[in-house]
């Protein structure tokens, strides 16, 4: 793990600099992501955390270049991925080059397993497609590899599950199928977009452990998209806190969660139930909602919801400033900004 997040000494597996994403609408361009920097090193898990509507999922989709063309427009000073054949500039990569990467070197787990799986194909056929398309296996070998993978991720009896359709499986089982599809080709990077959404706590823990085990076994890096800070503590090495398309805070997981600097990070952490809470102690409630992308406040985007807001916060957007070797924060009230 690198010692300085501001000057990463490793060559990142994935790196974005000044990434901007906008969507053309009737009232003008809707800015979903407003110039963010992030990276993921080989073998590590980095998380992007924030409420719904903050730009997390579109950031992940941009990595696979699935937002290409109208009405979406995205630009960056750099958006690169180090594949097994060398570094690739994602922005200039052709569709043919991206097809070779998607599912093979970069995979993705989408947040809704029920709508991500094809309802008219058996789950086994959908896993087998990965081996057929990316590994050039014949049908017999692809089916055998799929059954073996299903056993590995805990879907028993695998031969029976192979022939079942998505509607015949529970939510946790369907999520395991998505993970099987995402890891079939042993990708260098997996994008996990809310992989535990709509699952009960026990199944969430099982899914997170499965991802961690596969990550350790395959040396796979993970970009984890979530709003669940409990899952972040269990899974991620580093965290980027995102709000209204901006990175508000970043740091190593334990340090950031134990000692949050930004009022938004504090609100997210305080809104999570804690077993050590005293009787009568209330959870933190962040006032109002995430603003519409066309109606963001002037100055700091969090100013209209921040209980620590001052006059400068309403006038100027604070810069993302390094605090020590491993932290960065975008807040006028933090010393050093």
**∠ CA 202-205-209 to the nearest 5 degrees?**
145
Q: Please check whether residue 58 is in contact with residue 32, taking contact to mean a CB–CB distance below 8 angstroms.
A: yes
What are the tens digits of pLDDT across the range 164-185?
Answer: 999 999 999 999 999 999 999 9
Helix (H) or strand (E) holding 161: helix 158-162
Q: Please check whether residue 160 is in contact with residue 122, taking contact to mean a CB–CB distance below 8 angstroms.
A: no
CA distance 196 to 182: 15
What homologous superfamily is domain 14-105+189-287 in, according to CATH? Answer: P-loop containing nucleotide triphosphate hydrolases (3.40.50.300)
What are the tens digits of pLDDT across the range 9-65?
Answer: 678 999 999 999 999 988 888 999 999 999 999 999 999 999 999 999 999 999 999
pLDDT value at position 68?
Answer: 72
Q: Please check whether residue 190 is in contact with residue 181, taking contact to mean a CB–CB distance below 8 angstroms.
A: no
pTM of the model: 0.93
With H, G, I as helix, E, B as strand and everything else as coil, classify residue 109: strand
Please check the confidence at residue 6 and state whether its pLDDT lies above 70. no
pLDDT value at position 336?
Answer: 65
Number of neighbouring beta carbons within 10 Å of residue 149: 22
Number of neighbouring beta carbons within 10 Å of residue 236: 25
Report percent pLDDT > 90 for the chain.
81
Q: Where in the chain is the domain with CATH 3.40.50.300?
A: 14-105+189-287
Q: Please check whether residue 89 is in contact with residue 15, taking contact to mean a CB–CB distance below 8 angstroms.
A: no
Residue 313 vs residues 191, 242, 302, 330: alpha-carbon distances, Å: 34, 17, 9, 11
What are the tens digits of pLDDT across the range 107-145?
Answer: 999 888 889 999 999 999 999 999 999 999 999 999 999
Handedness of CA 32, 35, 36, 37 (dihedral sign): positive
């Amino acid at each position: 793990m690198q010692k300085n997040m501001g000057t990463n000494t490793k060559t990142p597996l994935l790196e974005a600099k000044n990434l901007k994403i906008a969507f053309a609408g009737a009232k003008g361009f809707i800015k979903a992501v407003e110039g963010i920097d992030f990276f993921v090193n080989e073998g590590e898990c980095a998380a992007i955390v924030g409420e719904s509507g903050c730009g997390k999922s579109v950031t992940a989709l941009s990595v696979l270049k699935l937002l290409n063309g109208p009405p979406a427009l995205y630009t960056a000073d750099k958006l690169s991925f180090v594949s097994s054949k060398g570094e690739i500039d994602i922005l200039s990569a052709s569709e043919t080059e991206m097809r070779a990467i998607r599912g093979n070197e970069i995979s993705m787990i989408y947040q809704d397993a029920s709508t991500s799986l094809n309802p008219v194909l058996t789950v086994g056929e959908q896993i087998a497609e990965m081996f057929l398309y990316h590994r050039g296996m014949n049908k017999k070998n692809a089916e055998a590899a799929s059954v073996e993978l299903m056993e590995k991720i805990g879907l028993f009896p695998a031969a029976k599950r192979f022939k079942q359709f998505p509607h015949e499986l529970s939510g946790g089982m369907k999520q395991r199928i998505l993970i099987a599809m995402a890891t079939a080709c042993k990708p260098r990077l997996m994008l996990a977009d809310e992989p535990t959404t709509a699952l009960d706590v026990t199944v969430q823990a099982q899914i997170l452990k499965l991802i961690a085990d596969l990550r350790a076994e395959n040396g796979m890096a993970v970009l984890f998209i979530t709003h669940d800070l409990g899952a972040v503590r269990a899974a991620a090495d580093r965290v980027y806190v995102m709000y209204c398309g901006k990175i508000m805070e970043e740091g190593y997981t334990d340090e950031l969660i134990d000692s949050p600097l930004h009022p938004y990070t504090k609100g997210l952490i305080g809104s999570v139930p804690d077993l050590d809470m005293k009787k009568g102690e209330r959870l933190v409630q962040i006032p109002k909602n995430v603003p519409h992308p066309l109606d963001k406040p002037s100055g700091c985007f969090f100013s209209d919801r921040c209980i620590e807001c001052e006059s400068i916060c309403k006038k100027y957007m604070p810069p993302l400033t390094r605090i020590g070797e491993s932290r960065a924060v975008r807040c006028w009230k933090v010393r050093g900004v």
